[in-house]
Each structure stands twice: as structure tokens, then as C-alpha cells.
Structure 1
Amino acid sequence: MASYCETDLQLHNKLHHAKQHKLIDATGHLKDKVCSHHDKPLEVYCRTDQQCICYLCTMDEHRGHDTVSAATGRAEIQKQMDETQREFQQRIQMREKELQELSEAVASITSSAQSAVEDSERIFTEMIRSIERRRSEVTKLIRDQEKAAVSQAEGDMERLKQEIDELKRRHSELEQLSHTEDHIHFLQRRQALPVTPEAGFGPRISVSPRSDFGNLRKVVSEMKDQLENFCRMKMAEIHHPVTKDTVLPVLVPRTRAEFLHYSCQLTLDPNTANREVSLSGGNRKVTWGGRAAIS
């Protein structure tokens, strides 16, 4: 029960050569290998108390206990440890497989999500372009109608200006004629002048009181509302397949502690209980024939 340097070890081997002392690598915990009660080496393993003892302990406080040599105890525990290590190795391999599957799932989700984003961006871009084309068509339609209406109105305005000038000229002639004192001249000139102001002029122009494209605004507004309603409906339909297609890993409980995460207090319904059972404890305990069946 002593530690030696290399020089002292040679002397030890000379002095105790015949005794065949068992030598092991030097350790700094020699006191842990000596029985604190008998100051003897710990060479026996007590299965009953699961601790190392000396030979004197087997005849003292460990008398009658199930004891074996330290080597035998080590072999038994080593066997258990080997089994535990195999279980650890199996669990490691299982977890590594789950990690690999989860990593692959993440990569798949990321790739699929990117592809879906690109496809949706392309489709929405095409939709936006389609709406832009429709917007341009409506704008062109309005401008063409505006141009035609303005062109017609400008032509009518020019004709009206000419008619106004002609009417003013005729009015002036009539005014001059009405002031002449020569009766013959008056009568002769009167025959050459129009009988009514409408004679020789175009039809009367009727201007619409409203030319603000109100009906068009109404139709475009209705189209916007219908498009928004359609988009809302389709967005609800889009949400379902997106969440359904994204398959997330399911954590399967294996141990009692993991199962207990999903435990909850049950409250039993007295209306559906068998007539032979009695409920108590806030309807959480069942008694059958005087014995507690479930609690």
C-alpha cells in the first residue's frame, strides 16, 4: 500500500522478490483503497450494500452479506456496464439517425419553400402584369372615348360659333331694316331675309348633364371588390395546403418522463358511470364494491 518512484521500485523488487507483490500504476487516492475501520486493503465487494470492503469487514458489520472478490464484482458490474454502453450506443445511433432525418427534412423544407416562393412570385408577377394590361386597356378606352367626345364637341362648338356669327349678322340686318323709313325698300328686303332664326341652321345640340364616366367607375370598383373577395377566398385555400404539406417531425415519447408531459387530470362523468361504481374525490376516484378501482 505504498507508491514508489522508479529508483525505490527497484529496491522494493529486490527486497520483496519472493513475496510477489502485486504492482499497479501509481495513484493519488491510496486512502480510498484502504478500509477506514480496519486499515486493511479493500479487496472484497459487498453485493448487499454495493460497496468495497476488506476481509475483516466480512466478519464484522458485513457478516452474512452477499460478498464476492473485487475482481468478481468488477466483472459483474463491467458486464452490466457493457450492456448499458450498448444501450447508450443504440440510443446514440437512433438519435443520430433522427438528427440526420431531421436535417434532411429541414433541407427539404427549405428547398421546397424556396421553390414555392419562386413559383408564387412568378405567378403573382404574371397576375400583376395581367392587371397592368387591363388597366392600360381601360385607360386607353377612356382616353379614346374622351378624344372622340372632345373632337365631336369641338366640331359642334365651331359650328355653333359660326351659327352665332350668322345669327348676329342676320339680327343686325333685321335691326337695320326695322329702322328704315322707306316702306317699299322694307317690304322688298324683308322677302330676302329668313322667316325664322332656325332656317338654314343645323339641329339643336343637347349636352348631357353628366359626362363623368360614372358608370365606368362603378364597374371598375365592382371589379376591384370581386377581385379582393376572390383573393381572400383563395388565400384561405392556399393556407391549408401550405400548412398540410409542411410535414414537421413528430416527437415520439419513449420514456415515462416523456409520456408524463402529456398527462392530465381526468374528471369522470357521473351520468355515464356504471351503477356498481361510486365516484369521489371531485369525480376523479372510482370505487367498485368498496375497493378503489381507479384514482
Structure 2
Amino acid sequence: MAELDLMAPGPLPGITAHSLATLSPDSGSASPAEEEDKGSLGSPQGEIEGQDTGTGLQGGPGGEGEKEILCDFCLGASRVRAVKSCLTCMVNYCEEHLRPHQENSKLHSHQLTEPVKDRDLRTCPAHHSPLVAFCHPDRQCICQECGQGEHKGHISVSLDAARRDKEAELRVTQLDLERKLKLNENAIARLQANHKSVLVSVSEVKMVAEEQFGELLAAMRKAQADVMLFLEEKEQAALSQASGIKTHLEHRSAEMEKSKQELGRIAGISNTVLFLEEYCKFKDIEDSSFPSVYIGLKDKLSGIHKVITDSTVHLIQLLQNYKEKLQEFAKEGEKLSVGCDL
């Protein structure tokens, strides 16, 4: 088998790229130099085997019995024997927990095998070879055959180096997440602190608005009372004037009735000299003037009606402008407001 080299020009900063170990064509075991290179790649098979220590039971002398492979999805003491292992999920399944792989068409492409140990699950699902490196462009663990095939020429590092790099990246992500979480919690705390302030502030403005509108209603009621009193006074003055004129006219009627009788008497005088004297005397004392019976209240009332109408229209317009002014103020406030930047 030709030597596999996964190094590529320009590896990622802070990450040392390694070439994968070359397997000898006869036994598949690596040469001493290659064993050292495998050690630099983290020796995943050795690590997994070390982690698997204790999974087997001691058998007879010189031998090692193996423990029953249990389902990874069963919990606690209720774990039962696995019937299949999924090389895609890298999990052992009992008959009950294997059902999704059998019934869900999306999982039919997963590679199922007879139950194998956890250490054997950590192998390449395509080539069933140990995973020995991490391919950066494809962000996945690969075996030696993967490196010679679809991942050939990709930048790759040992599993340990990849873990160190991803752990460092994870710590940065954790710190950034903690920072954002703290900012978010601070924003929530500020909102909670402002909740009462908002309620108090709005309540204060409501009280002012109720007070001002109360004063406005009181002023409107007073203006209404003043207008009604003014009209009543004008009405009483006009009625009183009309009553006075009527009394005067009634008195004049009585006087004219007397004059009428006097004229009848004068007309019956046969003596010409006496007739002339009496008639001329009557004319000298006769009052031919008549008082004006026109009361110009209607013209005054027309002017009063116009004042009341114009003033009412103006007040209504002012009241209608309340909402428009509030909306304009709100828009200006939105322009000046600062958003919460997390």
C-alpha cells in the first residue's frame, strides 16, 4: 500500500498537520517509525482499548472472558442485551430500541452489524478501520483509507490535536455565550426594574390628564352656565322693555280714546268761533309722537350665536388635535430612543 500523506500547504494557524501512518502490506502492523507517528496522532485505538478496560470478565487461567454487550439506550439496571450495533450512530441497540432503524425509512441507510464492543464502534463506518485523524475541511474523523480516497489532499491533524483545537474553540464559544447570557440577563433585570417605573410614570401622567380634563370640563360647564345666564339676562331685559312699551301704549290708547271723545264733542259745536277755539286748543295739547315698538334683540342674538358657534368649533379642533400631538411626540421619542444591543 502506498504511503498516505494528508499534509497540505498552509495548515490552520496553531494546528500542526500530520501525515497518517503507513500500514505494512503484509500484516497491517506499522513499522517502529510509523508506530511513533501513530502516537503523535493520539493512538485512538489504544485509547479506546484503555477506556474499555473492565468491560470483560476474567475467564479461566491465561484467558479473558468477555462481558455481555448491553443496549446503550436502556437505563440503569434495566439494561438488556444488544441485538445490533449501528456503525453510523456508533450505538448498541436492544430489540426494542432498534425498532426506529427498522421502521423509519430515514434510518434504513445506517449500517447495522452484529453487536460489537464500544471500542469497535469507534471505527470508520465505510471501511471499518480505526479513526486516526480529523479532516478540517470536512469537519469529520477519518481513517487511513478515507485519507487516500475522498479526503486525499485535505488538511488533517491527529485526533488529539483536533480535540485540543476544538476544546480551545469551545472555551472561546463558552466565554462568548456567557458574555451574551450575562448581557441578556442584565437586560432582563433592567426591564424588570423599569416595569414598576413604567407603571408609576404612566399613572402619574394619567393623574395629570384626569386633572387637566377635569379642569377643562369644569371650565366648559362654567362657560355654559355663563352663556345661559347671559342669554337669560338679555331675555329678561328684552321682556322688561317690551312690557314697559306695552304699558305705555295702553296708556296712550286710553288717552287717544279720550281725545276721540273730545273731537266728537268739538265736532258738535255749532258756534263757529267756539269751534275754532276749541279745535285749536285741542291741537296744541295733542301728542302725535309714538314710542318705538321695535326691540333689536334678534340682531344681538345672531351675533351671540356666531360667537358661541365659532368658539365651540375652535375648542373641538383643539380637542381633536390632542391625539395628533401625542402621536407626533411618540414618533419623536422613538427616533431618540436607544435600542437594547446584545
Report matched runs for 1:66-215 at 5 Å: 66-69=156-159, 71-102=160-191, 108-109=197-198, 111-178=200-267, 180=268, 183=271, 190=278, 194-196=282-284, 198-199=286-287, 204-208=290-294, 210-212=296-298, 213=300, 214-215=302-303
Q: Quote the offset at 1:108 in angstroms.
A: 4.3
**Structure 2, unaligned runs of 5 or more:** 1-44, 46-53, 74-84, 89-121
- Aligned match of 1:31: 87
In 1, are the aligned partners of 2:58 and 2:65 still within 8 Å (CA)?
no
1:150–1:116 distance in 2 versus 1, CA, 3 Å? same
Specify the SS of the correspondent of 2:57.
helix
Percent of pairs with identical residues: 18
Specify the SS of the correspondent of 1:45.
strand
Partners of 1:67 and 1:242 lie apart in 2 by 59
Specify the SS of the correspondent of 2:291.
coil
In 2, are the aligned partners of 1:35 and 1:42 still within 8 Å (CA)?
yes
The alignment status of 1:250 with 2:336, answered yes or no, reads: no
Instruction: Provide, for residues 184-232 of structure 1, a one-character-per-residue CA deviation record: whole Å limited to 9, x for no partner.
Output: 9x75994897435744x9x632244632123333444554566567778
- Aligned match of 2:111: none
- Aligned match of 1:52: 141
**Aligned letter for 1:215?**
G
Specify the SS of the correspondent of 1:67.
strand
**Aligned letter for 1:124?**
F
**Structure 1, unaligned runs of 5 or more:** 2-9, 255-295
Please give the TM-score of this superposition, normalised by the length of structure 2. Answer: 0.52
Greater length-normalized contact order (CA 8 Å, ≥ 6 residues apart):
2
**Aligned letter for 2:57?**
N
**Aligned letter for 2:259?**
R
Partners of 1:137 and 1:193 lie apart in 2 by 56
Instruction: Provide, for residues 111-169 of structure 1, a one-character-per-residue CA deviation record: whole Å limited to 9, x for no partner.
Output: 43443233123212212311321231122122112212211220220221122122123
Partners of 2:146 and 2:315 lie apart in 1 by 92
- Aligned match of 2:117: none
In 1, are the aligned partners of 2:238 and 2:295 still within 8 Å (CA)?
no
Partners of 1:233 and 1:58 lie apart in 2 by 76
Partners of 1:205 and 1:59 lie apart in 2 by 129
**Aligned letter for 2:157?**
T
Specify the SS of the correspondent of 1:195.
helix
1:220–1:251 distance in 2 versus 1, CA, 3 Å? same
1:161–1:204 distance in 2 versus 1, CA, 3 Å? same
Partners of 1:170 and 1:11 lie apart in 2 by 150
1:132–1:197 distance in 2 versus 1, CA, 3 Å? farther
Partners of 2:324 and 2:146 lie apart in 1 by 78
**Aligned letter for 2:181?**
I
- Aligned match of 2:304: 216
Partners of 1:22 and 1:87 lie apart in 2 by 44
In 2, are the aligned partners of 1:46 and 1:68 still within 8 Å (CA)?
no
Q: RMSD of the alignment, in Å?
A: 4.7
Q: How many residues align?
A: 240
- Aligned match of 1:257: none
Specify the SS of the correspondent of 2:297.
coil
